[in-house]
Structure 1
Amino acid sequence: MHKSLILFLILLINPLISVLAQDPSPWPAIRIERIKTLLPAALKTTGVDAWLVICRENNNDPLADHVGCENAGGTASFLFYHDKTGFHSLAFSPSSESTALDELDIHDTVISVDRSKSTMAEAATFIKEKGFKTLAINSSDTNAQADGLSYTQRKTLEGYLGTDFKGRLVSSEQVVYEWLSIKLPAEVEIMRKAAVLTAALQIEAYKHVIPGKTTDADVAAFLKKRMRELGVTDAWAPDQNPNVNSGPDRGHSHSTNKVIMPGDVIQTDFGIRVHDRWVTDIQRFAYVLQPGETKAPNHIQYAWESGRNGGFAAFKAMKPGVKGIEVDAAQSVMMKKAGSGYVPWSTGHPVGYVAHDTGPNLGGSRTKSVRPAAHKKLKVGMVFAFDGFHSWKRKDGTYKTISVEEMVVIKEKGAEYLIPPQQDIILIPSD
């Protein structure tokens, strides 16, 4: 086994201690810091005077636990705003939950509202008194995380605010974008440790492959077992995590019962969730040596190096102020030079609270349809998962794509890998 792979396995224990042993979760303190430091900047950047989040029991807003209303029973109203004295966070909470909420010290002020009264009505009165010119609410047709306000809640709110305020209501999607897309240094460090674990587990799984016997589903089952043992959960849909594929391209999919054979290239797309909050998204590739082989054949090695180099080109392009589509274009140039087949997927995406998080999309240069997020600029504190691509036609006419996936954080001078990138394709012996 390559020395770098052995090093990853040696490093397995320390990340486990760092990621899993911390109790209680760091989220409550991080959430407060995010509200106090990043949210005011998000409001100023978007030019919004105030942001209102309405929470409720059973069918809560997607951002409930980001603003501290995950335990809402009756309807609660959370307001974030700037005035002449600075930034403020104000919660109108049903009396039955207000004491516990106030004890958490998330918000500057918690106003207890008798359960016979409406927190939305109380919030609306305050909003009208302040005379905000713009009020952001969670209604969006582009960002599900900013679309938590139901139709009936909106109609009720509009009734309380009156017709004079109807034209002042704006979507919170830009506020949410600016707020969620940036991660605090403490959050990046948590994801860094989780990324080490994610990659190490994939390498551990490859050690257990027996060509001609082990199936893709067996490798996935091994990783599921290790996740349960270590107390981490899935970064995305459990049925598709991990996606282990030793055959032709399948895109985002589940692992099948295909038997892994000599000559196969194995793709493992895998992510974990730690502290029930932060996620990773990393791919590692392996080649199964055929009898008598000591290294990958030239065409496989070329595909590997081309994909890896495409990823390096994208990495070098990731700097503050660069648009997502420009990162994708940097890799597309390399793919064309290397003779890669067409790859429909974007070079990368934000990652953090979900696998495909809020932020710029690193795509669009190879497609006719370009997502609006591809024209967004990278900023310091954003975290991305991104792929190095090379696609080729197999003998049976199907395609296989190298898409080795790494994670980075954007710093002042450019991107920084969370963990060392995969430099060499992993070799699995068959005899």
Structure 2
Amino acid sequence: MSGILRIAALLLLGLSAAPLTAQPTVLPLREQAALHDKLLADRLDRVVPALMREQGIDMWVLIAREYVEDPVLATMLDAESFHARRRTILVFVDPGPGKPVERLTVSRYGLGGLFQPAWNPDAEPDQWKALAQLIAARDPKRIAINTSALSQFADGLTLSQYQGLTAALDPTYRSRLVPTDALAVGWLETRTPAEMQVYPQLLQITHAIIAEALSDKVITPGKTTANDVRWWMREKVSSLGLTVWFHPSLSIFRAGQTAALQEDEIIREGDMLWTDFGITYLGLNSDVQQLGYVLKSGETDAPKGLRDGLAAANRVQDTLTSSFKTGLTGNQILAAARAKAIAQGLKPSIYSHPIGFHGHGAGSSIGFWDNQAADPRGEHPLRPNTAWSIELNARAAVPEWNGQEIDFRQEENAFFDGKTVRYLDVRQTRFHLIAPRR
């Protein structure tokens, strides 16, 4: 963590700052847990009331069982609760303007003080009856539940739990159940100011691991394989006490080879390397693709054709980020960005997505690698205070490789504040260079 970010994190925790360090570091687990719960409490105070009132929801009921967590409920568990316990029921109640939204748990176990217990099993052993009594006492007009045909993030209520809920409810309240994609997706996609103080740290850690992986500290040309680098990245993340949310990718692009080389292929001088890598920290995710080049004897940089290809990918990034506008759908942003890129003589392919609690996060997709046209998954409108993986490629010919065309793939994470897009850390504009060992 940079000095500034460590201070910000420690201030959120109410701790004093340790001496500054130049390299990204990871907070100890106890500090991570405390920061996680402070970020969560802030989210619950800010995001849920705003979304419920925006969507006209009086009550939001989330139900999950151990190991079958609703995607939304899973992000509302405190740092010491890894899973739902038995059956965990969370209830948000909006009593009206000027009053705070109630946070209740109709569950046998508490949740870190974030939700007020609302069930006494000794007085009412039946959990479903206790929930039905709570609902009747509050008399909500619209009760949101997480069911959705379109979004997996808003479809966390299983059939058995839906049946248990509806069987317990009086028909009057059963008729008031409403599925709402917007509430679940809104919770997951919205980033808070406090989160955005610490999210850049995750990208600094991610970039630092990539920089080391694509260096002569890890790669010996003529000896190291693509798989060696992938597993080094996994081991590096594990040694930091963190996790990856997908297995790292490492591909080799080589002059004269029409397809990318992978697995146990040995890395050679003159190869271009591509990696796709993402980690999880403080409940948030990164997703980054960058490029490296293995220098030949006498070279001090990648060939101009490769550098121009990376620059073309940067230009496609610019066409995309300049097309973000609140209220536009992902499909509209895709069309606008592609039009700008093609007008510049570029060959773009755009497949960007939200990021946050999930690597492929809740919200609107902006293209797919196998579909550059409009898609139903791209119909969600762009909202402010959301984080994005700016994922794409520019296809370009490399003169030094006899005109061979290569997809120059880039992916960097960014934040949209409602007006502009800013990268969470510096984006790649130069190759990582791997020097040959002599």
Q: Same fold (TM over 0.5)?
A: yes
The residue that corresponds to 2:409 in the other structure is 403
What secondary structure, in the 3-state scheme, does the structure 2 residue paired with 1:261 have? coil
CA shift, 1:198, in A, is 0.7
The residue that corresponds to 1:138 in the other structure is 146
2:266 partner amino acid: V
2:380 partner amino acid: K
Query: 1:278-317 residue pairs with structure 2 within 5 A?
Result: 278-317=284-323
Residue-by-residue CA offset, 1:106-131 (whole Å, 9 max, x unaligned): 12453323396222222222323433
CA shift, 1:303, in A, is 1.4
CA shift, 1:327, in A, is 3.4
Residue-by-residue CA offset, 1:216-270 (whole Å, 9 max, x unaligned): 1111122122212221111x23xxx21111137989xx95112222332211111
The residue that corresponds to 1:80 in the other structure is 92
Q: Normalization by structure 1: what TM-score? A: 0.83
Query: 1:164-243 residue pairs with structure 2 within 5 A?
Result: 164-208=172-216, 209-234=219-244, 236-237=245-246, 241-243=247-249
CA shift, 1:335, in A, is 4.0
Q: 1:25 and 1:397, CA in 2 relative to 1: closer, same or farther beyond 3 A?
A: farther
The residue that corresponds to 2:14 in the other structure is none
* Residue among 356, 360, 363 paired with 1:359: 363
Q: 1:334 and 1:265, CA in 2 relative to 1: closer, same or farther beyond 3 A?
A: farther
Q: 1:24 and 1:63, CA in 2 relative to 1: closer, same or farther beyond 3 A?
A: same
Identity between Structure 1 and Structure 2 (%): 24
CA shift, 1:213, in A, is 2.0
What secondary structure, in the 3-state scheme, does the structure 1 residue paired with 2:118 have? strand
Q: Write the distance in 1 (CA, Å) between the matches of 2:153 and 2:74.
A: 12
The residue that corresponds to 1:45 in the other structure is 54
Work out whether residues 334 and 367 of structure 2, in 8 Å CA contact, stay in contact via their aligned partners in 1: yes
Q: Write the distance in 2 (CA, Å) between the matches of 1:365 and 1:224.
A: 25
Residue-by-residue CA offset, 1:327-366 (whole Å, 9 max, x unaligned): 33343235424655573x51x1111111111122222799
Task: Say which is worse superposed, 414-423 or 76-85, in terms of deviation.
Answer: 76-85
Q: Write the distance in 1 (CA, Å) between the matches of 2:47 and 2:192.
A: 9
The residue that corresponds to 1:374 in the other structure is 378
The residue that corresponds to 1:3 in the other structure is none
* Residue among 103, 126, 141 paired with 1:118: 126
Q: Write the distance in 1 (CA, Å) between the matches of 2:102 and 2:209.
A: 44
What secondary structure, in the 3-state scheme, does the structure 1 residue paired with 2:94 have? strand
Query: 1:24-63 residue pairs with structure 2 within 5 A?
Result: 24-63=33-72
Q: Write the distance in 1 (CA, Å) between the matches of 2:290 and 2:56.
A: 42
Q: 1:256 and 1:364, CA in 2 relative to 1: closer, same or farther beyond 3 A?
A: closer
CA shift, 1:414, in A, is 0.7
Q: Write the distance in 2 (CA, Å) between the matches of 1:143 and 1:12.
A: 42
Q: 1:19 and 1:256, CA in 2 relative to 1: closer, same or farther beyond 3 A?
A: farther
Q: 1:260 and 1:27, CA in 2 relative to 1: closer, same or farther beyond 3 A?
A: same
* Residue among 258, 269, 281 paired with 1:262: 269
Work out whether residues 220 and 255 of structure 1, in 8 Å CA contact, stay in contact via their aligned partners in 2: no
Q: Write the distance in 2 (CA, Å) between the matches of 1:12 and 1:289.
A: 31
Residue-by-residue CA offset, 1:248-307 (whole Å, 9 max, x unaligned): 7989xx9511222233221111111113x1111111111223444443334322211111
State the Cα RMSD in Å: 3.2
CA shift, 1:404, in A, is 1.4
Q: Write the distance in 1 (CA, Å) between the matches of 2:38 and 2:434.
A: 44
CA shift, 1:89, in A, is 1.6
What secondary structure, in the 3-state scheme, does the structure 2 residue paired with 1:379 have? coil
2:62 partner amino acid: V
Residue-by-residue CA offset, 1:377-428 (whole Å, 9 max, x unaligned): 3333211111342124787999632121111111243111111111212333
Work out whether residues 24 and 208 of structure 2, in 8 Å CA contact, stay in contact via their aligned partners in 1: no
Work out whether residues 74 and 84 of structure 2, in 8 Å CA contact, stay in contact via their aligned partners in 1: no
The residue that corresponds to 2:75 in the other structure is 66
1:39 partner amino acid: V
Work out whether residues 198 and 272 of structure 1, in 8 Å CA contact, stay in contact via their aligned partners in 2: yes
1:408 partner amino acid: A
The residue that corresponds to 2:12 in the other structure is none
Q: Normalization by structure 2: what TM-score? A: 0.82
Q: Please tell me whether residue 90 in structure 1 is matched to residue 104 in structure 2.
A: yes
Q: Please tell me whether residue 16 in structure 1 is matched to residue 30 in structure 2.
A: no
CA shift, 1:203, in A, is 1.0
Q: 1:398 and 1:25, CA in 2 relative to 1: closer, same or farther beyond 3 A?
A: farther
Q: Write the distance in 1 (CA, Å) between the matches of 2:353 and 2:75.
A: 21
